[in-house]
Structure 1
Amino acid sequence: MNRRHFLNRSALALLATPLIGCSDDNKFRFKQGQIIGCFGDSITAVENGYVALLQSKIDSAHPTMDLKFMNYGLSSETVTGLTEKDHPGPRPYLFERLDGILDKTPIDVAFFCYGINGGIYGKPSEKLFKSFKIGVYTFLEKMRQRKIPAVLLTPPPLALKAAPVETSRDTDFGYKNPYPKYEEEVLQEFERIILQMEHPYAKLEIDIHTPLLENQATCYDTDPIHPNQKGHELIADTIFRNLAF
C-alpha cells in the first residue's frame, strides 16, 4: 500500500468521528516570538505575496511580537493527491513533504491555504469533495500530533469574469481548460468545507475567497488563478483583521 492510500484510509476513519473545535474566539491570538509556517500552493509561494505582506503588516503594527512567518508554499501542490491529464507531470502532494519540513524546522502555528488546484479544474463529485475533506483532516491530524494550532484559509476563487479563458465541454478539464462552473460548483463547496470545519486544532477559519471574488476586477489581471499584487494585499488585510495580539 503506498503512502497516499494509507493516509486516505486513515483519514476516512476520522471523518466518521465528529471532532469539535475547542475555541469560540472570533480571532486567533498569537504569542510573542512564535514561528508561523504557511503551507499552500503557488498562491502562497509568491515571493512578495500575502505571506510577506502579512509579515510586514505585523512587524509595523506590533514590532515587539517578534513573529516569524515561514513560506512553505509550493507551486501546483494539492492535498487531494490528484492530477489532471494535461498537467506536466504529477502534481506535488503536501503529505509527501510535510513531515520532513516539521522535523527540520519546528513551528508554533500553521497556516493552510489549499483548494484551487485540489479539484484539478474539473467537474464536482462526492468523491472529489471527500478527497478534499480527507486532505484537510489529514493536515489537522498532523498538527494535532505535534500540538500545532492551525489557521485555515479558504481557497481563492477562479476569477473567470475578470480574466476569461477559453473553456470547452471536453471531459478532460485542467488548469488550461477549466470546467466552466468550477468556481460555483467546486471551489465554493471547498470554501464551505473549510468554513464548517470542526477539529480541535482548527483554531480559526478565514474566508479569503469571498472578498477576492467580490473584488476580482481589481485583484486579477490576465490570470484567473493567481491574484495580482492588489489581490495579495487584500488577502493579507483580511487575515490581519482576524488576528489578535
Structure 2
Amino acid sequence: MNRIYVVFVFFLGITVTDSGWAQSLKGAFPISAAQKIVFLGNSITYAGHYVTLFESFMITAFPKATTQVINLGLPSETVSGLSEDGHANGAFIRPCLFNRLENITERMTPDIVFACYGMNDGIYQPFSDSNFQRYKEGMIALYKRLKAAQIKRIIFITPSIHEDTVLGFHGYNLVLDRYAQWLLDQRRERNWEVIDTHFPMQKYVIAKKRLEPNFKLSEDGIHPGLEGHCLIAECIIHYFDDTFAAKDFLSECLDSTSYYAHLYTLLEVRQEIQKNAWLTYTKHERPGLPVGLPIDKAKKESMRIQNKIQKLQKTSHKRRNYEISDHHLSTSLTIY
C-alpha cells in the first residue's frame, strides 16, 4: 500500500462529517444489529477500498457482532437506465441496477443497504433536465423497491467528485453537484438517510490545490485512489459516530506495521471472494468481470479467513484507544 496517501488525508484537518444530521434520526435500526450489510454502486464501490475500511471499523467497534459486509458494486452501472452512444467502444450498454435488484433482495435478504449512484447517471454529458429526471426517478424507485423488500435501513451516499483534466470542477462535476444536492435535499423532503461524500471531497481537493496546484484525488478524473476512498470511509464512519478517532484509525489501517493493517489486508481478501461470488450468484449483466466461486465454497473460504481474523484478534495487543466499548458504541449508534 502507498502510505503517502495517509499524509494527504490526515494533515489538513478538514471536517468531513454529517453527524449533526445523523443525530436527528431517532430509533433507526442499529448497524451493530445487522446480519448483512450490502453496498450497491458503480465501479468506485466495486473497487472496494472504502467498503473494506468501513468493515474494519465495524469489526473494531463491534468485535462481538456477526455482521457480514458485502460489496455488490458493479462497474458502469446506473439507476437511470441511460447509456451513452459507444459506451465501452460499443461492446455493451451500461447495466441498470434494476435488472439485478430483485435477485439481490431475495437471494441475500440484507438488513441494511448503502447505495452510491450518480457518477454514471449523467453519462458524462453537460447537464440535461431529462437525464436529471431519469436519475431522480431511479433513486426514488430504488428507495421504494428496497422498502417493499423490507430492508430495515436504506442509506444513500452522494456521488464522488469528477476532476476534469482541463475544466477541473467546472466540467462534469457541475452536473454531479446538482445530483448530490438533490440527494441531500431528500433528507428533509422524504426523510431519507444520506451521507455526503461529494462536497467534503470537493472541499478537500480545493484546499489541497492551494498547496499543490496539480493535486488530484483521481488520475482519470473519475476513480479516486486510496486517498479518496479514505475520505469516503471517514464520512461514513463519522456519520455514525463522530467521537470515533476515524483519521487515526484509517491511518493505522494503511500502516503495514499496525494490527489494523493486518486486519484490513485479511478483509480485502475476503471482500474480493464474497464480491465475486455474490455478483455471480445474483446474476449481474456486466461483461468482463471474474466469475465468482459458488456461494457454498465462498462461504467456506470466508470462514477460513474469519478464523485468521479471530486468531489475529486474540494475539494482538495493539488495539489501544480505538477499542471503544460495546456499550458506548451501541448507545451512540442506536439512536441515529
User: For this structure pair, what is the TM-score category when the shorter chain's length is used for normalisation?
Assistant: 0.7 to 0.9
- Cα 1:77/1:103, change in 2 over 3 Å: same
Quote the RMSD (CA, aligned, Å): 2.4
CA distance in structure 2 between the partners assigned to 1:179 and 1:233 by the alignment: 20
Partner SS state of residue 87, structure 2: coil
Aligned residue in 1 for 2:190: 199
Secondary structure of the equivalent of 1:65? coil
Please give the alpha-carbon distance, in whole angstroms, between the structure 1 residues aligned to 2:216 and 2:226: 7
Change (3 A) 1:86 1:180: farther
**How far is 1:54 from its partner?**
0.3
Greater mean deviation of Cα atoms: 27-36 or 229-238 = 27-36
**Distance in 1 between the 2:224 and 2:201 partners?**
8
**Same amino acid, percent of matched pairs:** 32
- State whether structure 2 residue 93 is matched by structure 1 residue 90: yes
**Conservation of the 8 A alpha-carbon contact between 2:162 and 2:169:** no
Deviations 1:128-165 (A, max 9, x none): 111111010110011110121200100011023xxx26
Q: 2: CA distance between counterparts of 1:128 and 1:117?
A: 11
Partner of residue 70, structure 1: 70
The Cα shift of 1:71 comes to 0.6
| 1:154–1:206 CA contact under 8 A, matched in 2 | yes
Aligned to 1:205, what secondary structure does the other structure show? strand
Q: Report if the CA contact (8 A) 2:39-2:72 is conserved.
A: yes
Partner of 1:183: 173
In the alignment, is residue 152 of structure 1 matched against residue 169 of structure 2? no
State the partner residue of 1:43: 44
Amino acid at match of 2:154: A
Offset at residue 222 of structure 1 (A): 1.6
**Aligned-partner residue type, residue 38 of structure 1:** F
- CA deviations on 1:170-214 (whole Å, 9 max, x unpaired) are xxxxxxxx9962111x101100111011436x3x11100012112
- Choose 92-101 or 80-89, whichever is displaced more: 80-89
Following the alignment from structure 2 to structure 1, what is the Cα–Cα distance between the partners of residues 135 and 108? 26
Q: Aligned match of 1:119 in 89, 110, 122? A: 122
SS at match of 1:78: coil
Higher helix share: 2
Cα distance in 2 for residues equivalent to 1:221 and 1:72: 22
Q: Take 2:60 and 2:69, find their aligned partners in 1: how far apart are those partners?
A: 14
What SS is found at the alignment partner of 2:114? Answer: strand
Native 8 Å contact 1:219 1:230 kept in 2: no
CA distance in 2, matches of 1:191, 1:145: 25
**Considering only CA atoms, is the larger Rg found in Structure 1 or Structure 2?**
2
Provide the C-alpha distance between the structure 2 equivalents of 1:42 and 1:213, rounded to a whole number of angstroms.
Answer: 19
| Alignment partner of 1:141 is 2:132 | no
Q: Deviations over 1:40-67 (max 9, x none)?
A: 00000014x1111100112112212332
Q: Which amino acid aligns with 1:60?
A: T
Pair 1:179–1:118, CA change in 2 (3 A): farther
Change (3 A) 1:146 1:59: same
Q: How many residues align?
A: 205
Corresponding residue for residue 59 of structure 1: 59
Residue identity matched to 2:129: E
Match of residue 108 from structure 1: 111
Hey, which of these two has a bigger chunk of strand by percent?
Answer: 1
Kept in 1: contact 2:41–2:73 (CA 8 A): yes
2:219 to 219, 222, 226: 222
- Mapped to 2, the partners of 1:155 and 1:37 lie a distance apart of 17
TM-score scaled by length of structure 2: 0.57
Measure, in 2, the Cα distance between the counterparts of 1:159 and 1:84.
19
1:223, CA displacement in angstroms? 1.7
2 CA distance for matches of 1:225 and 1:96? 24
| Contact kept? 1:122, 1:179, Cα under 8 Å | no
d(CA) in 1 for partners of 2:129 and 2:146?
26
Consecutive unaligned residues in structure 1, runs of 5 or more: 1-22, 168-177
TM-score (norm 1): 0.77
